Chain A
Amino acid sequence: MRRPLQAALLALSGLGLLHTALFTDQFLRYVKEGMRPLLIASGVVLLALGLAEAWTSYREIRRTADGEHDENDDGHGEHDELGGHDGHGEHDTHGEHGGHGEHSTPRVAWLLFLPALSLLFYAPPALGSYTAAREATKVVSEQEEFEPLPATSPLPITLSDFTRRVQQDERQYIKGRTVLMTGFVTPADDGDGGWYLTRLMLSCCAADAQSVKVRIHGGEPPKADTWVSVTGSWHSGGGGSLGTDSAEVALDARTVKRIDRPSNGYTDSLPLTAP
């Protein structure tokens, strides 16, 4: 890979990271919030590397143009070697023979253009119902003691918390309560027109997304991947007794309203919007 191209690749990668993490919050589609400082720092480093590369190769070209071309004339040496050996990267590095000249870059480095350009111009969307329908359901943590629920109605609650209340709370505080939950729509594949209110959660990046789902009964199923806010009460028709593992995590929907996708969709946070 030629030097201006290397410089461009580094700078583009840096700009891609800065675009996704600093200028927008698109990085939340791929990784967790905590990665932001690391991504910004990486973007700055890559951009600086790219500019340094562009500057040194520019200076080198100026120097050779001025007729001062001489091996090791300025104690730098590196630049002259770069100039002399640069072409190797294209020719020597099939398969096993990388690293011939000191600065040959294997062809595989071209692939770095893909994530860089993708981040800048063609960022894929966050994972949605396609993944949620296929991935294993996240196991909600065990909880021994349950506090009585606040008297607010409808009661805003997370999908995980609702699952715990339905399947683990022996005192059945959730019984008869109207709750408010938000998430996106995943159609059920069992053919009777039902759907799941869904959230995806990450441990690290989108490669390890896990879902938490609540089956919604009643009403027309909205389009897949729409973000909705749902109110309703626990659906007792699924058999199984409330407060045990046999209870179906399901809701009889009273209202279903479209909402905007939250910027950080990969969390199971409390609904903020009033119904």
Chain B
Amino acid sequence: MQSTAERAEEAPPPLAGATRAWPRHWPLLLLGAALLPGAALFLFGRWAEAPAMQAWRTVALAVTVQAMPFLLLGTALSGAINAFVPASVFQRLLPKRPALAVPVAGAAGVVLPGCECASVPVANSLIGRGVTPAAAFAFLLSAPAVNPIVLTATAIAFPGDPAMVLARLLASLAAASVMGWLWLLLGKEEWLRPAVRHTGHRHGHSRWAEFRSGFQHDFLHAGGFLVVGAMAAATFNVAVPRSVLDTFADSPWLSVLFLAALAVVLAVCSEADAFVAASLSGFSPVARLTFMVVGPMVDLKLIALQAGTFGRAFAFRFSAATAVVAVLASALVGGILL
């Protein structure tokens, strides 16, 4: 799979390659660092100073900055799982039958305190360590919604309404488990990109070096997709004024679907979405529950992250199915509890 260009690059003897390596990159780098901001200032000029453009830049940067620590946590955890945790640990912890492993993995999401950006790399490294994909996906979907930080935030956002917290927990677990089982029934391995980069710890290799390179690789990889997602979310945030919401608030079914769609495009992190949901006071409790169940499972930055990690063929099918399942789960649970 090596192109001729690469061969050509590798062809020079080590000595020549080494002496050229630094001078070849560093000037480019310095030039880029010096020119890029200047060029950006020059090119965007007034245009970038328009209020809409400034708001867009602020929101895109805010989503990125907010997610960065959690993405680092997730990629560090995934690097650590890969380098330090033997595969047998997961085989012992999870039930042998995949159908049972799915809800167990979903409930295990309680232990990952963070927002959704952290769970994608962790789920990926779980698959790399031999966990059945169905269970890893249940974990991926439930972890951002059911961890203690998010549930506490929900309780604070809806004071005096513990049913909302319970409904969120149950609906998220249900949707995550159903998606895991759906994957067992209908999922096809070929949708997943064939990249099992992580081979776990290999004999004779430094665990720390493996940890560092896995961590770094995952972070650069997922970070790029985070930026894509943040820019998409900022575009919707600026282009769609929140006042159009009121148009949909009256019809019960439309409002559920509309808030589900809003959760997807706004890409608010799961620790904050409860406060946003609480502010959507014109909407029914079921619609607001839908917002909080769909948001951590499907949103623009998550789709971008999943496309980068698992492949596009997977991300689009999986996100579409998850959105449907999450809406149904929250309508059902919300209908009973709220």
Q: Which residues does A use to contact B, with CB under 8 Å?
A: 1-2, 4-6, 8-10, 12-13, 17, 20, 27, 29-31, 35, 38-39, 41-42, 45-46, 49, 52-53, 61, 64-65, 67, 69, 72, 75-78, 82, 84, 87-88, 91-92, 95-100, 102-103, 105-115, 117-131, 134-136, 138-139, 203-208, 210
Contact = CB atoms under 8 A, between A and B. Distances in A.
Contacts of A64: 14-15, 17-18
Interface string B233-244: 110010001110
Contact of B209 (A76, A87, A98): A76
Interface in B67-82: 68-69, 72, 76
8 contacts: A10-B220, A42-B69, A114-B227, A117-B36, A126-B58, A134-B242, A203-B276, A205-B63
Given A102-B197, A134-B242, 5 more contacts: A4-B29, A49-B212, A99-B196, A108-B228, A123-B61
Interface stretch (B169-177, B250-258, B307-315): B307-315
Interface in B45-71: 51-52, 54-55, 57-66, 68-69
B275 interface: yes
A110 B224 contact: yes
Contact of A96 (B1, B36, B279, B313): B313
Question: Chain B interface secondary structure, helix, strand, loop or mixed?
Answer: helix
B66 A77 contact: no
B272 interface: yes
Which range holds the interface residue count of chain B?
A: 35 or more
Contacts of B197: 99, 102
B116 interface: no
A129 B51 CA distance: 9
B173 to A, nearest CB: 23
Interface in B260-318: 266-269, 271-272, 275-276, 279-281, 308, 311-313
A84 B33 CA distance: 27
A46 B61 contact: no
Contacts of B245: 136
B163 to A, nearest CB: 18
